[in-house]
Structure 1
Amino acid sequence: MNAPLAPGFVNGDVSFWYRSLGVPSPAEPLAGDVQADVAVVGAGYTGLWTAYYLKKADPGLRIAVLEKEFAGFGASGRNGGWLAGLLPGSAARYAKRHGRDSAIRFQREMFAAVDEVIKVAADEAIDADVVKGGLFNVARTPAQAARLRAEIAGQRAWGWTSDDVDLLSPHETATRIRVEGALAASWSPHCARIQPAKLARGLAQAVRDLGVTIYEGTPVTEIGPGRAVTPGGTVRAELVLRCTEGFTAAVPGHHRDWLPMNSSMIVTEPLANWDEIGWDGRELLGDMAHYYMYAQRTADDRIAFGGRGRPYLYASRLDDRGHTHDWTVDALWRLLTGFFPALRETRVEHAWSGVLGVPRDWCATVGLDRRGGLGWAGGYTGHGVAAANLAGRTLADLSLGRETGLTSLPWVGRRVRRWEPEPLRWLGVHSMYRLYRLADAREAGGMPRTSVLARIADMITGH
């Protein structure tokens, strides 16, 4: 490994976000058969939000949440801390079946979900290091700048106003965050920084306080109408809701529903030289590269910096301990110091990885088959922190039989074809990301428009 490592460097151990909190041991597992009204499989954000809103709406409901590890073990405790009002998928694809107005309404609900999470965190006294500093997307090559302008024009066409996203000049860009080689940037207010594990832990406690039982250390081996089967017993319930996101491929019968995509992060030591970087507004930082990055300035003044790394393991295998390959740590370090050359003397204190769920058309879905009593939500393609809240409220409304504005959103009831069998999906995903890396390298040479290699990559997997 070439990246400089701090004393006590940790690779994996779930994520850095648990470093100050301590990685929890699972609570009591299910021991015997249980009868419930609703069984929720998965105690990440989606499952916890669903249980929260169900119990708030009907305190008499008997809700059992089943979790293989501990609440917040998966992507909910490992993500980049972007509470972002971004659609989990393509507006055009959502509009194709349901119309333009429906897609625009969906986007507005996503914006509102950011404030909803912040409100609930305040109401439930969840200290998740929340700062609503917005989202800062930077372009560092002419091709990226062209894509940035095109993206904003496209957002305008889908109802975004100048209050929703603003194009910044090079001077305005530099006054916010001094990214090396930045040509332009955009800023949107619809994003907040969070500490993901604190949000997951606080939400789990709020759910327990409402009277919901979370059975941890309880893997679900079978999901069927009216039942969720575990080694310790079976939960029988009128409704069984699958909220497993990146771990969906491990659920029997769902191996090819959503592809488990790996994303990796590193975090620096606490920094003192912020005057060379700026970043006073605590914005979330992203870029317009194809092989894109995401970052935040943490509450204790580090930079947490992420990217795709090695995106997919053959046959949808899962490395659930969060270990990150040396190659990925080095690649993220090179990218970080390319953005901020002043950090070359700083060291990496922690590296970790997690998986997110990717449907075949890269658009999330929420649904409930009332006849079979089976529901689901997820496939957020990396935009799950806010989307999980909206999905939880939507799944709660569907479960309660309510017809609301949420239950008519265009992601409700969407079904897409499954991913191809191996080795096709491994070849497709790895080809896509190799082409993206090559496209970024070509664009770094100064070409004024998006490389054709990136367009070929999009075509391969329907991204």
Structure 2
Amino acid sequence: MVTAAVSPADIGSYWLASCGDDLTPRAALTGDESVDIAILGGGFSGLWTAWFLLQSNPGLSITIVERQFCGFGASGRNGGWCSPRFPINPSALIGRFGVATTRAILLAQQAMVDEVGRICAEEGIDAHFNPAGVLTLARSAAQLPALQKSFAAYGKLGMEDGCELLDAAQAAALVHATHVHGGMRLDAGGTIHPGRLVRGLARAVERRGARIYEGTDVLRVEDGARPALVTAGGTLRARRAILLAGEAYLTGLPDYRRRLIPMASTIMLTAPLSAGQWDEIGWSGGECLSSYVNTTNYLTRTADGRILFGSRGAPYRYGSDMSEAALRDNANFDWIRDRLVEWWPLLADVDFTHRWAGYLGISRDWLPTVHFDPARRIGYSYGYTGHGVITSAICARALAGLVLGQKPGANAPYIRAQAPNWEREPLRWAGIRYVQNAFLRMDLAEAAGRRPPLDAGLAQYLGEP
């Protein structure tokens, strides 16, 4: 079945609306072709993989096929963080893989932030890269233990330099929000315009010789001696490798339906604020900003003086359905408006100019997966759990290396055959919806000064990596 086209205006993303690029889809694949490497997916995963492959071997013929247009998915709808955070938090990473591996992972994430900035400069991509750091606030006494645990993990890793634990007064001096009890600041990380980045990457790989087809549905993936992407318009065969880089959208392929779940995240964006409003808000550093809540929040100060506020998305839909209509009709936009005003009451009458939502991919164990099978000639990268701007680049570089026969590093546990499968329906739907509901009840109880729900421990056990 061929998927209906979705326009950038239908999505509503500010990043796409302000990317400065012509979003008219490129030509679709018509007819059969053969290349060295064929890539499914025109978002960060696919584009970074092509970029690293061509950087190492400029003579490769590479074609990318994208169902809609480059940046259609999470790459054009995210929160604008260029963050060194990994999908699993440092203390949990230490518990699972030890100090040495965790340190290597996090140092690689931090180094990739700088590399993204360097590549943008090298390729002439004006992505508003701002290496301002990451600031996480504790906005209740109940959030302080998580803050302190995270800081202690960086100490255990020997990564105290560039990591600062802030008391209430120090944190409130940086951001004049309500109920600030403390904070932690990382020097590494910053913000970026993801729409400009993804569209700029597409042009960069084309300049290096790659071909991109948009508006091209992949109906079937064939492996073996003559692997292929079978599309609605023709068959694209690959002499060396088929690489699947569709992130959450891989769940539409039968063999990958349980490897990930697509979870939605919701974002609203204010109109540009006045200088007086910014004086009252603080946040002059423009760091990636968040707090320790269970339902997740992330805030970005844009280059033109707006506040982006992202939080929980539409509830998980049965069978990993990824309805665009469910994103547009998402009831959580009012929730986000209320949360922003709760942070800064002076914004009670602020205008919001954009609102959108998108799907991200979550593995059962929260760990990304990178794999290439030389016998089947199939490779893939997925599972960034909302940390895809940097993690997708890390994983793409690893996937490119595997395809080119390079030996992976010892401290890369995400290089593996596959993630554990999610449960079958209806258990998957029931469990995920329960955890979503429980996390919301926990945050509402904390905000109201009430005791946590009786099932809080169970929800945290089920919902954390």
Fold match (TM-score > 0.5): yes
CA distance in 2, matches of 1:43, 1:146: 40
Structure 2 residue 371 is the aligned partner of structure 1 residue 363: no
CA distance in 2, matches of 1:447, 1:143: 11
Instruction: Give the CA deviation at 1:233.
Output: 1.1
List gaps (5 residues or longer) in structure 2: 1-7
Instruction: Give the CA deviation at 1:157.
Output: 2.3
| TM-score, L = length of structure 2 | 0.92
Which piece of structure 1 moves more, 44-53 or 86-95?
Answer: 86-95
Residues 169 and 347 of structure 1: is their aligned pair in 2 closer, same or farther, counting only changes over 3 Å?
same
- In the alignment, what sits opposite 1:459? 461
Higher relative contact order (CA 8 A, sep 6+): 1
Instruction: Give aligned-pair identity as a percent.
Output: 36
Structure 2 residue 170 is the aligned partner of structure 1 residue 169: no
Q: Which amino acid in structure 1 is aligned with residue 245 of structure 2?
A: C
Conserved 8 A contact 1:95-1:410: no
Conserved 8 A contact 1:270-1:301: yes
- In the alignment, what sits opposite 2:243? 241
Residues 322 and 80 of structure 1: is their aligned pair in 2 closer, same or farther, counting only changes over 3 Å?
farther
- In the alignment, what sits opposite 1:207? 205
Instruction: Give the CA deviation at 1:187.
Output: 0.7
Query: Helix, strand or coil: the match of 1:186?
Result: strand
CA distance in 2, matches of 1:415, 1:97: 17
CA distance in 2, matches of 1:173, 1:139: 9
Instruction: Give the CA deviation at 1:364.
Output: 0.9
CA distance in 2, matches of 1:431, 1:97: 25
Conserved 8 A contact 2:35-2:61: yes
- In the alignment, what sits opposite 2:68? 69
- In the alignment, what sits opposite 2:121? 122
Which piece of structure 1 moves more, 408-417 or 119-128?
Answer: 408-417
- In the alignment, what sits opposite 1:421? 424
Instruction: Give the CA deviation at 1:13.
Output: 2.5
Residues 322 and 47 of structure 1: is their aligned pair in 2 closer, same or farther, counting only changes over 3 Å?
farther
CA distance in 2, matches of 1:153, 1:321: 43
Instruction: Give the CA deviation at 1:158.
Output: 3.4
- In the alignment, what sits opposite 1:374? 378
Q: Which amino acid in structure 2 is aligned with residue 35 of structure 1?
A: S
CA distance in 2, matches of 1:408, 1:40: 26
| TM-score, L = length of structure 1 | 0.92
1:16-63 CA distances to partner (integer Å, 9 max, x unpaired)? Answer: 112233671210111111111111110110110000010111111111
List gaps (5 residues or longer) in structure 1: 1-9
Instruction: Give the CA deviation at 1:212.
Output: 0.2
1:396-439 CA distances to partner (integer Å, 9 max, x unpaired)? Answer: 1111001253x751211153321112221111111111111111
Query: Helix, strand or coil: the match of 1:418?
Result: coil
CA distance in 1, matches of 2:131, 2:139: 25
Q: Which amino acid in structure 2 is aligned with residue 460 of structure 1?
A: L
Instruction: Give the CA deviation at 1:321.
Output: 6.6
Q: Which amino acid in structure 1 is aligned with residue 404 of structure 2?
A: L
1:178-197 CA distances to partner (integer Å, 9 max, x unpaired)? Answer: 11111111111121111110
Residues 152 and 11 of structure 1: is their aligned pair in 2 closer, same or farther, counting only changes over 3 Å?
farther
Give RMSD over aligned pairs. Answer: 2.1
- In the alignment, what sits opposite 1:231? 232
CA distance in 2, matches of 1:77, 1:136: 23
Conserved 8 A contact 1:118-1:130: yes
CA distance in 1, matches of 2:92, 2:367: 8
CA distance in 1, matches of 2:343, 2:329: 22
Q: Which amino acid in structure 2 is aligned with residue 43 of structure 1?
A: G
Residues 91 and 135 of structure 1: is their aligned pair in 2 closer, same or farther, counting only changes over 3 Å?
closer
Query: Helix, strand or coil: the match of 1:221?
Result: strand
Structure 2 residue 250 is the aligned partner of structure 1 residue 251: no
- In the alignment, what sits opposite 2:112? 113
- In the alignment, what sits opposite 1:314? 318
- In the alignment, what sits opposite 1:354? 358
Instruction: Give the CA deviation at 1:103.
Output: 2.5
- In the alignment, what sits opposite 1:185? 183
